[in-house]
A and B are shown apart, each in its own frame.
Chain A
Amino acid sequence: MSKLYSGAEIVFKCLEDQDVKYIFGYPGGAVLPIYDELKNHETVKHILVRHEQGAGHAAEGYARSSGMPGVVLVTSGPGATNVVTALTDAYMDSVPLVCISGQVPTHLIGTDAFQECDTTGITRPCTKHNWLVKDVKDLSKIIHEAFRVATTGRPGPVLIDIPKDIQFAKTKYLRPKKIKKLNGKLTNKFSQKEIDELIDLISKAKKPVIYSGGGVINSGPKASESLRELVRLTGFPITSTLQGLGAFPGDDHQFLGMLGMHGTYEANNAMHDCDLLINIGARFDDRITGKIDEFSPNSKKVHIDIDPSSINKIIKVNLSIVGDVNEVIKATIKSISRKNKEINRSNKQNVSKWWEQIQKWREKNSLGFVNSDETIKPQHAVQRLYELTKNQDTYITTEVGQHQMWAAQHYKFNKPNRWMTSGGLGTMGYGLPAAVGVQIAHPKKLVIDIAGEASVLMTMQEMSTAVQYNLPIKIFILNNQYMGMVRQWQELLHEKNYSESYSEALPDFIKMAEAYGCKGIKAENPAELDEKIKEMINHDGPVIFDCQVDPSENCFPMIPSGKPHNQMILGPNDKQENKITGKGKALV
């Protein structure tokens, strides 16, 4: 007879068989049997966070930067409800998470017991799937299936709710089975006919643009390589969503910069005027499309995505290819090099006029800003940070707001998995715990959270985690004393009524850093900025960097809501547009 294991032991046996190295968690009454078992499993290291939301975001940072699923362990009731934000965040940005939550014993479920909540009910809309384990015999099967659901197809979070009595109950352990087709959900069956159609469109295009997204990152580093090859082969311009940054080198000539609400002039105009739009692993988010009716009105549209429900959800496309983006791009490249060797040369001729047009748009220098000798401009701070860190392999996380957009605009990513940001849900407080997770996955690398002072205070407690595990994360706060993006919208759209957007009673970040037992650095003028940034990079340990920036700076360019791509507001640097901006401020 095979050995009997307790539910708690089975949890760890599953984690070991799934190659889990780290779990991010916080103990509590309903998960104590699992925590009891922790000491017997050396290969699984537990990272103690200070709030369950932090555990979720740390696991997201871990997953996004490593390609492995992030694992979270929380207790019942408040433990589970605190992790809901992170689960929703992971759901929106397709991050593979496996969350294990404790639950009150089976016989108490439904009695409003202490720290009871309907965890599977609450997390149903924010997970790919969730399970309440009612019989210990199902436990190993469910955990293995949970890992499979989280990591296959379009990745996402899952949750397993384990009542305390199940953690004590004993049964046999079942190893993971060979991957079986999951109700036909591993959709990877595109046809050669679709690839041929795509190549036909590519060869006819005069004004093409490739628009790539987070799906390329999720498909793995190989997908980024394939994408680069495809872009070189076709000579097409490429733009990227916020989540897709890094899949294609940010400093490459063929890269137009990010598109969308705060995207570049050239990227958005190319999207608007193109005759062929190839969406690779993106989902036509409303921050990208602007006004749907006027979105890229004259183009044939191709959508390559692993999730069939993303196709035609928002924008009707002419050709859809459902599959793993790497597989699709590889098949396309193979077909091009086999059949249409001429395509390479003819394409570049076809699109040369288009490149001339793009060059004209580029000359607008839409990311330009008026720099200053007296105050640090936030864009300047990000540019300096980039220049001083670009020679080493740097991982950037962000919070949400103006600083996030400036980071996306001015920090150039050359590799995938180096950029962790909350795009879909827009969760303030994401960056600091995410940096913790990234640093866990990449202990020797430089990890910087480009933060805003308002966002970072939402999860500041995780500095303790960083100090406890000696994680040398750098929290680079662009401190403008405002919820900057809120303030910008109020200035442009709500008659400068700055309702509740001023960060009153801010803490002294230097003293705060010292209180946490890490280093605090403050930069107040442009002259000292470089030196202070170097001091931050060279410090072996966590740093909170208070970068005091111009409070009134706005993030441009910007597509006002409900406007198409070709009606952007440009920054004050643009003289021609300046007049319009002056009027625009009243009109937008």
Chain B
Amino acid sequence: MTKSKSAYSTPTKIGKLDTHIFVVWVDNEAGVLARVVGLFSGRGYNIESLAVAEVDQTKKISRITIVTTGTPQVIDQIKLQLKKLVPVHKVADFKREDKKVIFKEMALLKIVSQQKKIDKCLNACKNYSPIILDKTKKSVVIQITALRREIDKMNKKLKPLGLVSTSRTGAIAMTRGAEVFN
């Protein structure tokens, strides 16, 4: 019998962690983001990325997309706890592997380099619908939309070619096909 000096039990082993994307429809009112984010920090859940904006101006509804990791039990809890918040209308959660759902992130990449290398960068980005937002002789700002890991990859790849600054959104999600989440 080992000696336990704690007033609490010892932690049991943690199960397999899954990555999930939560989509939360909320009333766009003061403090609502703090409630959602506070729920995560207060209960020790993890936030990988967060994207939020109003999607319905007349009804004042915002859509929050949160990428998080946790055991199935924790994911379940996050969903149920979110649903308890008064300004929350509905909650959807998807596994990252879910084929029925599109996940996208946008990134703005600033490259300061010679023309040759800039061209190389543009070429490297060609699979991620690159748009040139600004261009000078020595620099370029490229917008790409891709998955998180693809942007991670580009980040690494473009560094030696003159990438000096990256700005990226959190992931946002939409179901495929005619179905709408209810």
Residues of A at the B interface (CB closer than 8 Å) are 120-121, 124-125, 128-129, 132, 134, 149, 182-183, 185, 286, 290-293, 307-309, 311-313, 316, 489, 493-494, 560-563, 587-588
Q: Does B9 contact A (CB under 8 A)?
A: yes
Task: Known contacts A124-B38, A183-B88, A313-B77; decide if A308 and B83 are in contact (CB<8 Å).
Answer: yes
Inter-chain CA distance A563–B73, complex, in Å, is 23
In-complex Cβ contact of B34 among A121, A185, A489, A494 (8 A): A121
Instruction: Give Cα A185–Cα B83 distance, bound, in whole angstroms.
Output: 8
* Complex contact B86–A129 (CB within 8 A): yes
Count residues on chain B whose CB falls below 8 Å from chain A CBs: 27
A129-B8 Cα distance, complex, nearest whole Å: 29
CB-based nearest A residue for B2: A562
Give min CB distance, A484 to chain B, whole Å. 15
B30 contacts chain A at the CB level, 8 A cutoff: yes
* A493 contact set on B, CB distance < 8 A: 3-5
Q: What's the Cα separation between A563 and B7 when bound, in Å? A: 11
A561 and B86 contact, CB distance less than 8 A = no
Given known contacts A124-B38, A182-B86, A183-B89, A561 and B80 CB-to-CB distance under 8 angstroms: no
Q: Are B12 and A293 in contact (CB under 8 A)?
A: yes
Within 8 A of A (CB), among B1-34: 1, 3-10, 12, 30-31, 34
Known: A149-B86, A183-B88. A292 touches B34 (CB 8 A): no
Instruction: Tell whether B54 is near chain A: CB-to-CB under 8 Å.
Output: no
Contact between chains at B9 and A125 (CB < 8 Å): no
Q: Which residues of B lie under 8 Å from residue A562 when comparing CB positions?
A: 4, 6, 8-10
Asked if B73 and A312 sit within 8 Å, CB to CB, the answer is yes
Contact in complex: A309, B77 (CB < 8 Å): yes
| 28-77 of chain B: CB within 8 A of chain A | 30-31, 34-35, 38, 42, 73, 76-77
Partner among A128, A489, A494 whose Cβ is within 8 Å of the Cβ of B86: A128
A183 vs B32: C-alpha distance in the bound complex, in angstroms? 15
Q: How far is the CB of B135 from chain A (nearest CB, A)?
A: 42
Is there an interface contact between A183 and B9, defined as CB atoms closer than 8 Å?
Answer: no
Residues of A within 8 A of B80 (CB): 308-309, 311
Q: Which residues of B contact A (CB under 8 A)?
A: 1, 3-10, 12, 30-31, 34-35, 38, 42, 73, 76-77, 80-81, 83-86, 88-89
Q: How far is the CA of A588 from the CA of B35 in the complex (A)?
A: 41
Q: How far is the CA of A350 from the CA of B9 in the complex (A)?
A: 35
Closest B residue to A560 by CB, please name it. B4
Contact pick for B6, options A121, A134, A292, A561, CB 8 Å: A561
Residues of A within 8 A of B3 (CB): 493, 587-588
Chain B residues contacting A183 (CB-CB under 8 Å) are: 86, 88-89
Bound form: Cα–Cα A308–B84 in Å? 9
Closest partner residue, chain B, to A485 (CB atom): B7
The interface residues of chain A lying within 8 Å CB-to-CB of B7 are 489, 561
Q: Which residues of A contact B81 (CB under 8 A)?
A: 309
Instruction: Please give, as numbers and ranges, the residues of chain A lying within 8 Å of B30 by CB-CB distance.
Output: 132, 134
When distances are taken between beta carbons in the complex, the residues of chain A under 8 Å from B12 are: 292-293
CB nearest neighbor in A for B84: A309
Complex CA gap A313/B42 in Å reads: 15
Tell me which residues across on chain B come within 8 A of A308, comparing CB atoms: 80, 83
- B89 in contact with A124 (CB, 8 Å): no
Greatest chain A CB density within 10 A among B3, B42, B86 is at B86
Q: What are 9 sample pairs from A and B whose C-beta atoms fall under 8 A apart?
A: A128-B84, A134-B30, A183-B86, A185-B83, A290-B9, A293-B12, A493-B3, A560-B4, A562-B4
Alpha-carbon distance between A588 and B2 when the two chains are bound, in angstroms: 8
Complexed CA–CA distance, A587 and B4 (Å): 9
Q: Is the CB of B38 within 8 A of A125?
A: yes
Closest Cβ neighbor of A289 among chain B residues: B9
Shortest Cβ distance from B34 into A: residue: A124
Q: How far in angstroms is the closest Cβ of chain B from A284?
A: 12
List of B residues within 8 angstroms of A309 by Cβ: 77, 80-81, 83-84
Closest to B81 in A: A309
CA distance A562 to B12 in the complex (A): 10
Q: Which residues of B contact A560 (CB under 8 A)?
A: 4
Minimal beta-carbon separation of A464 from chain B (angstroms): 34
Known A182-B86, A292-B12, A587-B1; further 10 A-B contacts with Cβ < 8 A: A124-B35, A185-B86, A292-B9, A307-B84, A309-B83, A312-B73, A313-B73, A493-B3, A494-B5, A562-B8
User: A313–B85 Cα gap in the complex (Å)?
Assistant: 17
Of A290, A292, A561, most B-chain CB atoms within 10 Å: A561
| Nearest CB in chain A to that of B72: its residue | A312
For residue A125, which residues in chain B have a CB less than 8 angstroms away from its CB? Answer: 38, 42
User: In the complex, A494→B6 CA distance in Å?
Assistant: 10
Q: Which residues of A contact B8 (CB under 8 A)?
A: 286, 561-562
Given contacts A120-B31, A313-B77, A561-B4, contact A291 B9 (CB under 8 A): yes
Beyond A290-B9, A308-B80, A562-B10, whether A124 also contacts B31 by CB under 8 A is yes
A290, B42: Cα distance in complex, Å: 23
For A129, list chain B residues within 8 Å (CB). 85-86
Q: Which of chain A's residues have a CB closer than 8 A to the CB of B31? A: 120-121, 124, 132
Chain A residue contacts of B4, Cβ below 8 A: 493, 560-563, 588
A407–chain B nearest beta-carbon distance, Å: 20
> Within 8 Å CB of B9, what residues of A?
286, 290-292, 561-562
Q: Chain B residues with Cβ under 8 A from A149's Cβ?
A: 86
Kindly provide the distance from the CB of A323 to the nearest chain B CB, expressed in whole angstroms. 15
B114 to chain A, nearest CB (A): 49
| Distance between Cα atoms of A273 and B34 in the complex (Å) | 45
Q: Which residues of B contact A291 (CB under 8 A)?
A: 9
CA distance A185 to B8 in the complex (A): 32
Task: Name the B residues within 8 Å of A292 (CB-CB).
Answer: 9, 12
Closest Cβ neighbor of A126 among chain B residues: B42
Alpha-carbon distance A182/B86, docked complex (angstroms) = 8
- Which 3 A/B pairs are nearest by Cβ-Cβ distance? A309-B80, A129-B86, A562-B9
Cα of A290 to Cα of B10 in the assembled complex, Å? 10
Residue of B nearest to A291 (CB): B9
What chain A residues lie within 8 Å of B84 (beta carbons)?
128, 185, 307, 309
Kindly provide the distance from the CB of A556 to the nearest chain B CB, expressed in whole angstroms: 17
- In the complex, A517 Cα to B84 Cα: how many Å? 47
Closest to B13 in A: A293
